[in-house]
Every structure is written in structure tokens, then in C-alpha cells.
Structure 1
Amino acid sequence: MPSFEREHLNLNYIDEGPVSGQAVLLVHGFASSIKFNWIDPGWIETLTGAGYRTIAFDHRGHGASDKPTDEAAYTPTKMAEDAFGLLDHLDVKSTVFFGYSMGARVCAFAALARPETIDKLILGGLGYGLVSGVGDWDPIAKALRAPSIDDVDDPRGQMFRAFADRTKSDREALAACIAHSRQELTEEDVGRIEAQTLIGVGSKDEIAGSPDRLAALMPKAQALTIPNRDHMLAVGDKAFKSAVLEFLLT
């Protein structure tokens, strides 16, 4: 896969589908990657098959991108700037921003920083938690640094440690990422996001917060509840894919 450079970091990306098609930039979640967030759940195939130019990148600290262990390297603003850097690298002036979980938070920061680049906005796996926060993640950092998953007692810590082990992630880089990547926005900030927005959250998601409550703050947002899906499983849901394709056509 190709890469581009920003802040002396090499960041891995893909660019697939027709160059003449509407561009969709995919921004993955914490401890995930292009492969686990977008390829394996079928999003690349779904979007390119529908005629969209589909662009995705591995965040700093994730996938095949460089993995700094300095906590200061990880903020939503820095990761949004990575997204803009990729768009500049590809000479893409505007795109649909589609983020999941941490990636949705990054997309919201991007929408405030450079609204002219946002054709539409899709926030998956993140509702009112964008404002209120998504719980205490210190146990997750502790779980990532534990010698073994057998040493982890916290249920959420176990979930993310198991995912990090399955994806063969750099656990020190992920632990550093947790420190600042959870930065919240205020309700007033969210109210300034003017892009047409779809917010999709699983009905069993105990992390994301209410999609309806977040949508109510935004002038052009609609909420989608993904039936019978938790935070990990909602991303690849068929109903979510169908709703996204319909949203992109409106």
C-alpha cells in the first residue's frame, strides 16, 4: 500500500474505485485499521461497488502507519490534520468524511476546522459521547500495558486488549493514543457543524452515547439506530451499509 508523510510520520493509505466518482474518506476507530474497520467488514467493496472513490488511511499509531509512543502526538486535531494531509496529497478538494468511533470524533473535529472540505458527514459508533465523553479509558490503557490479557480484570479493558492482540497492534502506541484522543466537543461546537450528517449507533452500544441526542444539536443531522448491534459489531452491519448508501444519494 502507498503512504504519505506528515510530521515526519509515514502514514499508510488506500485509494480505490473510480477517480471520477464522489470521494468518501474513511477514518477508522481506536485500535483498528483500514483492514479491520473497512476491508474485512466489506465497506471498501460496498462503496467502490456503488461507484464511489474510496480513500482510507491508517491513523498514526495504527495498522501499517508509523507508531509514535509520545502521548502528545495523539489528539483529534492532529489526526484530523493527517486526514487533510492525505486529501492534499491526493489533490482531493472535498469529500464525504465517514468515521467510526474515535474516527468519528476525528471527523467532527475536521468538520469544524475545514468545513469547506466536507461534502457530507457520517459518524458511526459515536453519539452524544462526542460531548459527554465515552467513559473512563484509564483501565484500557492499563489493560494494553499488562503483560497478558489474563492479568486484566476490567471488562472493557479485556475487550480492547483482546482486539489489540487479535489485530497484532502496537500496544504502547495505543496506550499513548488514549491519553489525548478522547478530547470532547461542547454542545455549542457540535451545533456549528453544518454539514448534512448521518449518525449511526448500535442499539446495544454501551460506549457511543445517544445518536438522537447528538443529532438534535446539529442543524442537518439524522440519527440511525442499528438494531441488535454493539460497538464492535455495528460497523459491518448490513442495515448500516444500506442506510449509508441511501444517505449518500440524498
Structure 2
Amino acid sequence: MSRPPTFAPPPCASPRLLSTSRGDFAVLDARPSTQDKDIKATALLLPGYTGSKEDFIALLEPLAAAGYRAVAVDGRGQYETDGPDDQSAYAQTELARDVLAQAEAVGGPVHLLGHSLGGQIARAAVIVEPTLFRSLTLMASGPARISTAQQQKVKMLSDALAVLEMDQVWEAMKALDPPEDADTDPGNGEDLRRRWLRHSPVQLIATGRQLTVEPDRIDELAAVQPLPKHVLSGERDDTWPVPLLDDMAQRLSAHRTVIAGAEHSPNTDRPLETAAAVIGFWDRH
């Protein structure tokens, strides 16, 4: 689970609902302190499994300061965006269509960035309709299913979600946390708990399964031209090994960035370095 340093958005970002042809989505909408006509471009930021728009809070201020409007989204069934109690509603094709609607609603084409599960949803959207996007950044998001160890963790979580209430699952997860992962900020710990309780368990079960069976679609994505592509990760990742991400970048002829000192969530581990890498890539395109 990504652990944002705070759930309070910076002054440049406004929490609001983004109305689209596929419903309303809770977003954090960060804008430069300039007139809209001076905005370089708009970016759409998609969180990962168990995550939310708050995972990008530490990126929003530097992105806005660099001249970009950045819209971080809760997907359907994530945190502050409602979702139905029907697993078919969370099929990857449905989630990809949501992204297309979001891009249209913010005034695409947009720079698209997806973290982990969000990256796999992002690439599905790009494959369907690439004209809505200026570029694609895959952040800690691999070519196919997650590692065997992570598959086992997701299966354990899905099994628990099928029989327990969300608060019971939360307490079980906290009990299993290693001491070094214990949250020392009681306020932020309560924010994390509140976020967890507002996730749809149906969404978590459906998207968790996607992560364990996702096929390799890199050849399909590589064929989407001339869309610029960026593969960004930390220097360690237990969800998709870094050499696998290196190979994926080569197959995509993508720009490659490795953030020193970061693991699976460079957006929260090393946000300033991550923002600088993303801005540099966007500025070139």
C-alpha cells in the first residue's frame, strides 16, 4: 500500500468532482499560478492497487510550478469515487474506458501517468484510443502479471475480503505489518484507515485478480506510434523486478528513469526526484 506523507492537498490543488460521460470521479486538480492559456499541458495521474489520488500529493506542487495542470484521479471504487457491487464493472476494459472519458473531460490530449495497476489500466486506454494522449509514463508498472510473491499476497487479501468486513481486514493487515512499516504519525494512520474503509472490496477483488493474470501487452503498446513512452521506477521493486522493467523499456524504445533510494512507490519515496524526472520527460514532448 502506498503511504502518502499527508492527505492534505497543497494550495495549488483543489479537491473536486470531475464530471465525465461515464460518471463523476473524485480528483485533486492542481494548476499553475498562471492563466490557463499559459499552462504547458494537462496530465492525468492514475493510482495503483489499494491507492488513491492522494498518492500523488507530493508531486502536485512541483508539477504545477513547472507549468503543468495535474489531475490525480480516484478510479471507480477507489476511495472517494463510488463504484458498483459488480465485479464486471471493474474489468480492465471498463476501467480503460473511464480513463478515456476522464481525458476528454479535462480537455485532452493529456500526458498520462499510471502507477502500478494504474499503469496497466493506462496502457489499455492508450491501446484503445492513442489520440487522446500526448505521452505515457508507466511508473513501477510491469509488462505482465506481478511477481509470484505478490500474487500470493493479493490472493490472501482477496480471500479475506470475500469473508470479512473491511475494518476486520484492515486490523489483520496492520497486525501483519513489520515493525519498520509501522505508521508513526497517528493522524496519517487514521487517514490511511479511512481510505481503506472507503474502497470497494469488490473493486479490490476484481483488480487484484487482474494483477495476477495480466498478459504481456508490450508488443501492442510498442505498436502505438509516435506516442512518447517513459518507464520510471525505483531502484528496488518487489512487485516487478527492476531488470524486467529495464527490458520492458527496451522493447518499447522508451525513455528509462531509475529513482535512487526509491522502491515500488517513487511518487511517495522520492517525490521531488520523481517529479523532476517526469517534468523533464514532458518538457521534451
Shared fold (TM-score, shorter chain, > 0.5): yes
In structure 2, the residue corresponding to 1:193 is in which secondary structure?
A: coil
Q: CA deviation at 1:4?
A: 1.9
2:195 to 160, 167, 170: 167
One-letter amino acid matched to 1:242: A
Cα distance 1:149–1:31, how it changes in 2: closer, same or farther (>3 A)? closer
1:25 to 34, 44, 67: 44
One-letter amino acid matched to 1:204: R
Cα distance 1:96–1:33, how it changes in 2: closer, same or farther (>3 A)? same
* Residue 185 (structure 2) aligns with: none
- Is 169-178 or 146-155 further displaced after alignment? 146-155
Q: CA deviation at 1:180?
A: 4.9
How far apart, in 1, do the equivalents of 2:21 and 2:209 lie?
A: 19
Specify the structure having the higher radius of gyration (Cα): 2
Q: CA deviation at 1:185?
A: 3.4
Cα distance 1:10–1:230, how it changes in 2: closer, same or farther (>3 A)? same
* Residue 103 (structure 1) aligns with: 118
In structure 2, the residue corresponding to 1:217 is in which secondary structure?
A: helix
The number of residues matched between the two structures is 237
Q: Which stretches of structure 1, 4 residues or longer, exceed 6 Å deviation after superposition? A: 153-156
The percent of aligned pairs where both chains have the same amino acid is 19
1:131 equivalent to 2:144? Answer: yes
* Residue 140 (structure 1) aligns with: 157
**Which TM-score applies when normalising by structure 1?**
0.82
Confirm or deny: 8 A CA contact 1:31 1:164 kept in the other structure. Answer: no
Consecutive unaligned residues of structure 2, counting only runs of 5 or more, are 1-15, 182-188
* Residue 88 (structure 1) aligns with: 104
Q: CA deviation at 1:204?
A: 1.8
Consecutive unaligned residues of structure 1, counting only runs of 5 or more, are none
One-letter amino acid matched to 2:45: L
**Which TM-score applies when normalising by structure 2?**
0.73
- Cα deviation, 1:153-192, whole Å, max 9, x if unaligned, reads 9879xx8xx9963633435234333355433333422322
* Structure with greater proportional helix content: 2
Q: CA deviation at 1:64?
A: 0.9
What pairs up with 1:171-210 in 2 under 5 angstroms? 172-182=201-211, 183-194=214-225, 195-209=227-241, 210=244
Confirm or deny: 8 A CA contact 1:24 1:52 kept in the other structure. Answer: yes
2:83 to 67, 77, 81: 67
How far apart, in 1, do the equivalents of 2:216 and 2:42 lie?
A: 26
In structure 1, the residue corresponding to 2:230 is in which secondary structure?
A: strand
Confirm or deny: 8 A CA contact 1:144 1:174 kept in the other structure. Answer: no
1:241 equivalent to 2:256? Answer: no
Q: CA deviation at 1:25?
A: 1.0
How far apart, in 1, do the equivalents of 2:230 and 2:205 lie?
A: 30
In structure 2, the residue corresponding to 1:4 is in which secondary structure?
A: strand
1:38 to 51, 56, 76: 56
In structure 1, the residue corresponding to 2:252 is in which secondary structure?
A: coil
